[in-house]
Chains A and B, each alone.
Chain A
Amino acid sequence: AQKVTQAQTEISVVEKEDVTLDCVYETRDTTYYLFWYKQPPSGELVFLIRRNSFDEQNEISGRYSWNFQKSTSSFNFTITASQVVDSAVYFCALRIRGDSSYKLIFGSGTRLLVRP
């Protein structure tokens, strides 16, 4: 069975701190895709990044970086020098190529509060 676990329910940091959001996934498929989405207080789901199972190269985009490690089945997300606008719920998700519905399997989300 496929599963995504985000063990951190809520994280609170002070502005300018670095913060890492953890994501652990389970699948027996060899081809899969991992995603991060942001849900700000306004409620929409905003796509942040997609990574396929054959590409373990880490990625950096501005203050955001992602660390993908197949050995530990983890796809962690780090925000450097956090800002108040980063306050949101962040979801990690898994999509399996062998799943005919192509659905995203979401973790339960991590609520990040960045205090000024």
Chain B
Amino acid sequence: DAGVIQSPRHEVTEMGQEVTLRCKPISGHNSLFWYRQTMMRGLELLIYFNNNVPIDDSGMPEDRFSAKMPNASFSTLKIQPSEPRDSAVYFCASSQGSAGNTIYFGEGSWLTVV
């Protein structure tokens, strides 16, 4: 079975440019998460969707960040305009709805903003 699929795997962009990260969750999973990993802050939740609806976006750092989930099989995380401090690994993850279920992660999107 396919796991969580993310694209691009690596992105290098210039400051001020728009960045769009994409995610396809595991089929049948109704919860989707975007996490960010940095050396300073470790793994932190940015936003959580349940049944395509954003439930908790308290981790989204600022208005430059936005996330959408137009359907059950696709989500995007957009940064506009990007800044060097946004450089990080962005993970998409999915699970079935209840807290007792495992969250499965994609391979991550490694973003470098220069």
Contact = CB atoms under 8 A, between A and B. Distances in A.
A96 B102 contact: no
Contact of B42 (A33, A42, A52, A109): A109
Interface residues of B, number: 26
Interface stretch (A43-51, A59-67, A71-79): A43-51
Q: Which size class do A's interface residues fall under?
A: 20 to 34
Given A44-B105, A47-B104, A103-B45, 20 more contacts: A31-B99, A44-B107, A45-B93, A45-B108, A46-B105, A47-B102, A47-B105, A50-B100, A91-B43, A95-B103, A96-B99, A97-B99, A99-B99, A102-B31, A102-B48, A102-B98, A103-B33, A103-B48, A103-B56, A104-B45
21 contacts: A33-B100, A37-B105, A43-B89, A43-B107, A44-B106, A44-B108, A45-B105, A45-B108, A91-B43, A95-B103, A97-B98, A97-B100, A99-B99, A100-B55, A101-B45, A102-B98, A102-B99, A103-B56, A104-B33, A107-B42, A109-B42
Interface of B: 31, 33, 42-43, 45, 48, 50, 55-56, 58, 89, 91, 93, 95, 97-100, 102-108, 110
CB-based closest 6 A-B pairs: A101-B56, A45-B105, A97-B99, A106-B43, A44-B107, A103-B45
Interface of A: 31-33, 35, 37, 42-47, 50, 52, 91, 95-97, 99-104, 106-109
